[in-house]
Structure formats: structure tokens, C-alpha cells
Amino acid sequence: MLRYITKRVFAMLLTLLIIATLTFFLMKLLPGSPFNNQDKLTETQRYALNEKYGLNDPVPVQYINYLGKLAQGDLGYTFQFDGRTVTSMIANGMGPSATVGFEALVFGTLVGLVLGIAAALKHNTFIDYGAMIVAVFGIAIPSFVFAGLVQYYFGVKLQWLPVAFWNGPEYHILPAFSLSVGVIATVARFMRTEMLEILGTDYILMARSKGISKNAVILKHCVRNSMIPIITILGPLSIGLITGSLVIENIFAIPGIGEQFVKSINLNDYPVIMGTTLFYSFLIIAIILVVDILYGIIDPRIRVAGGKS
């Protein structure tokens, strides 16, 4: 297991290097430069600024310099504010982003599991149809539409919850809910299909033939086995949450990384573009790794070499 994880971490670093390289050169292809739109700057000042940030060097040299700093964990300074590191910007934005994402994931998975299990156990009844109608809406309608709807209904009309900003727990509810709708829908559909399939397997009949009660069989034998594919889709779902959060953070004016990411691209803020891209990439690769490891823990059949005996 340890060898497997080491191998995967190494592969992860290599992937990050490739992403850094691609992003760096693509970013350099973007029209404009960080200081072009500031009309008040004279030619000399601009030259001095470019010199200060090393932007006058040839691109390959900049690339090598960037990688050198990156290897030491230095993501550089933003161009937007004097003397603020990219790391501190990401750290500041991470709190709200991670909170909303995590809340949406946990809430969405739990509700999705309950809906999926209920639909499977009440197969072909109105509970099943109801749950699946909810799921179809959840998949078909993007999260920002829900965001607008709940903002209007709960925020403006009923005035139960704040419409936007990030000043306390009650501010989490609407964005986390909007973000979780897709998760609920996907998890519910997967769980239903999987439960139905597993309820029909021989080992469920075998467990029943041992005299175990139906509920105990569902809990001990069925739900756990049905969770295996759910854990695999949690990876892509979390990634969906990350991209979804870009929009949701803007709608609810949450000071997260997604907001900074969009802004940095508009401003040609090279270090922030690189920093946030690498951060997102790191997150996504890490999620995939964690999912693979979890998968092995739940399903002993895929416990990788070295796990046995």
C-alpha cells in the first residue's frame, strides 16, 4: 500500500509539472501584458515594472525561473497589490471556497443517498418516481439557475436568509444548497441503480436465507456494496463542485479562490493565474488519489499489490 501511494504521489508531481508547463506557455500567448491597461504609466515606469517582475527576460528563462521558485514552494507576488504573495491570496480565499464546497458535498451526498435508497426500496412506487423526477431536474438545471431562484425566493421574497456575502453560518445555506443540487441528483441516481442491482444478487438472497431480517440485509450487505460506485463518482463530483463554485462564488459574492481566479485572468495577473491553476490541478489530482485509496478500503477486491497478507 505504501509503495503504491509513493508511486501515485510521484505521478501526481509529474502531472503537476506538465500542467505548470502548459499553463505557463498558454498564458504567455494571452494578448496584452499586466501593465498595459494602466494608461498613467510612462514607458520607463512600465519597463521598470516589467524588469522588477522579470517580464523582460525571454519566455524560456522566465519559465525556468518560475519552476525554480515553484520547487521551493514560492508562487510569487501578485501584480494587483504591492507585496502580497499568491500563497496568501490562495490561503485567504481557500477558507470560504472549501467551506461551501465541503458543505455542498456532504449535504448533497447524504440527501442523494437517502433519496436513492428510498427510491430503490420503494421501486416503481410514487416515492421512486418522485425521487427520480427530483434527480432529473437536479441534473438538467445548472446550479446558477438554482442560485438565482433561491436567492430571490428565500432571500428577497421571504427574507429568511441573506441574499449574498459571507458574514456567518446563515450565509452558507443558500450557496451550499445551490451547489449541492447536482450532487444530490447524481448520487441519488447512481445509488438507486446500484441498490436495485445488488438487491437482485445471489448474495442478498443468501443472506436472507440465513434468516437475517430484511432491514439488516439492506444495511449490512446492500448499502455498503452499493456505495462502491458512489465513492468513484465523488471524485468527479468534487471536481464539478470546484468548477461550479467559480460561478456560485461570483453570484453570492463569496471571497473565495474562484473569484480571484476569474479576476486574475482578466487582469493578466500571471503569478495568480499560475498559482490558482496549479492549486486547482493539485486539488483535482489529490481527489482522484484519495478516491482510489478509499475505493480499495471499501472493496477488498481492489486492494492493490502489497495489501494482501
Kindly list the residues in this chain that would bind another protein in the complex (CB under 8 A).
Answer: 201-203, 205-214, 220-221, 224-225, 228, 298-301, 308
Nearer to another protein, 208 or 263 (CB): 208
Nearer to another protein, 165 or 203 (CB): 203
Nearer to another protein, 149 or 206 (CB): 206
CA 172 to CA 170: how far, in whole Å? 5
E strands, 27-92, in order:
none
Nearer to another protein, 8 or 303 (CB): 303
Neighbouring C-beta atoms of residue 2, cutoff 10 Å: 7
CB of 134 to another protein, least distance (A): 23
CA-based end-to-end distance of the chain: 11
CB of 201 to another protein, least distance (A): 6
CB of 196 to another protein, least distance (A): 12
Instruction: Say which residues have a Cβ less than 8 Å from residue 181's Cβ, sequence separation at least 6.
Output: 108, 138, 141, 143, 146
Residue 77, φ and ψ in degrees, nearest 5: -110, 145
Instruction: Say which residues have a Cβ less than 8 Å from residue 248's Cβ, sequence separation at least 6.
Output: 100, 143, 144, 147, 175, 178, 179, 254, 258
CA 141 to CA 3: how far, in whole Å? 43
Instruction: Say which residues have a Cβ less than 8 Å from residue 309's Cβ, sequence separation at least 6.
Output: none
Q: Cα 284–256–68 angle (5° rounding)?
A: 55
Nearer to another protein, 12 or 298 (CB): 298
CB of 206 to another protein, least distance (A): 5
CB of 197 to another protein, least distance (A): 12
Nearer to another protein, 1 or 11 (CB): 1
CB of 236 to another protein, least distance (A): 22
- Amino acid in position 243: T
Nearer to another protein, 129 or 203 (CB): 203
Neighbouring C-beta atoms of residue 182, cutoff 10 Å: 23
CB of 8 to another protein, least distance (A): 23
Residue 109, φ and ψ in degrees, nearest 5: -65, -45
CA 270 to CA 34: how far, in whole Å? 8
Nearer to another protein, 217 or 285 (CB): 217
CB of 213 to another protein, least distance (A): 6
Neighbouring C-beta atoms of residue 40, cutoff 10 Å: 5
